[in-house]
């Protein structure tokens, strides 16, 4: 990434940062839930191997959960009233159905609700693939106490 200061961490170094817990201000982003869970299990196993009986959970999130957290944080901030409201799953499904009904093939389809489910799943798969192309298993983002951005550090598997 030209113009971006990025350092690479080993998994052991990443776990040292995660051991600091919330006070360390470290969040790891992964492209999917499965990788977030696997990395969290590895972190927990490393803590047990170190003889610890209790520790703060590592802040390891899939990209979608991180975006949701950012939205929630913004929603309850001073800019919250300007944010659009997110669709519920039922509203999203209704929107997909409407898009399919209005499409050129809409009149020919017999099972529009089922097609809407398939279209939504396909969209999620495609958008997940775009995120996966970042070729990153996690990104550590830190903010300094002064609110200044600190150079990003990347853990690559």
Q: Which of 52, 40, 29 is nearest to 134 (CA)?
A: 29
Q: Which of 126, 99, 124 is nearest to 113 (CA)?
A: 99
How far apart, in Å, do the first and last CA atoms of the chain sit?
18
Report pLDDT digits (tens) over 44-103: 999 999 999 999 999 999 988 888 888 888 889 898 889 888 888 899 999 999 998 898
CA atoms of 45 and 2, how far apart (whole Å):
36
If you average pLDDT over residues 119-147, what whole number do you get? Answer: 56
Report pLDDT digits (tens) over 8-44: 778 888 898 899 888 888 889 888 899 999 999 999 9
CB atoms within 10 A of CB 19: 17
CA atoms of 11 and 62, how far apart (whole Å):
17
């Amino acid at each position: 990434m030209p113009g971006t200061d990025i350092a690479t961490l080993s998994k052991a170094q990443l776990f040292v940062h995660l051991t600091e817990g919330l006070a360390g201000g470290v969040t790891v982003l992964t492209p999917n839930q499965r990788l977030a869970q696997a990395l969290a299990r590895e972190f927990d196993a490393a803590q047990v191997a170190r003889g610890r009986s209790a520790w703060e959970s590592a802040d390891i999130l899939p990209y979608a959960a991180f975006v949701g957290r950012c939205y929630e944080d913004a929603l309850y901030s001073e800019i919250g009233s300007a944010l659009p409201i997110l669709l519920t799953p039922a509203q999203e499904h209704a929107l997909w159905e409407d898009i399919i009904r209005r499409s050129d093939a809409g009149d020919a389809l017999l099972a529009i609700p089922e097609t809407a489910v398939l279209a939504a799943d396909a969209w999620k798969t495609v958008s997940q693939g775009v995120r996966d192309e970042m070729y990153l298993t996690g990104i550590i983002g830190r903010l300094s106490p002064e609110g200044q951005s600190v150079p990003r550090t990347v853990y690559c598997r």
